[in-house]
Amino acid sequence: MSYSAKHRDQMMIRPIHTRADHAAALARIEALWQARPGTPAHDELEVLGILVAAYEDRHWPILPPDPVDAAACSEETYHGTHHDPVRRIRRRGS
């Protein structure tokens, strides 16, 4: 069964409760990807995107990084350049 079905020109969209629902919604999003804005297909695409995002946030949350790890990563990324936020913080504290 497809994720959404049309009934008299109306979208029939259900909540995403399972991994199977999630997979079906992603497949439907892929089928609608080229929908033009302002069309019913694009409206369906937008609603499915919101539902998928909510399901993914609930099941696979992205937690904020540990501040010390984030500073160390930034220092590695900028290789100690003047853009290095750790150095800027240290300079302000001096």
Query: Whole-prediction pTM value?
Result: 0.63
* β-bridge mates for residue 10, sequence order: 7
Long-range contacts for 50-59 (Cβ within 8 Å, ≥24 apart)? 51/13, 51/15, 51/16, 51/25, 52/16, 52/22, 52/25, 52/26, 54/16, 55/16, 55/21, 55/22, 55/25, 56/22
HSE on the CB side for 73, CA within 13 Å?
6
Give me the tens of pLDDT residue by residue for the chain, a chain 94 residues long: 455 555 445 677 899 999 999 999 999 999 999 999 999 999 999 999 999 999 999 999 999 988 888 888 877 777 655 555 666 666 665 5
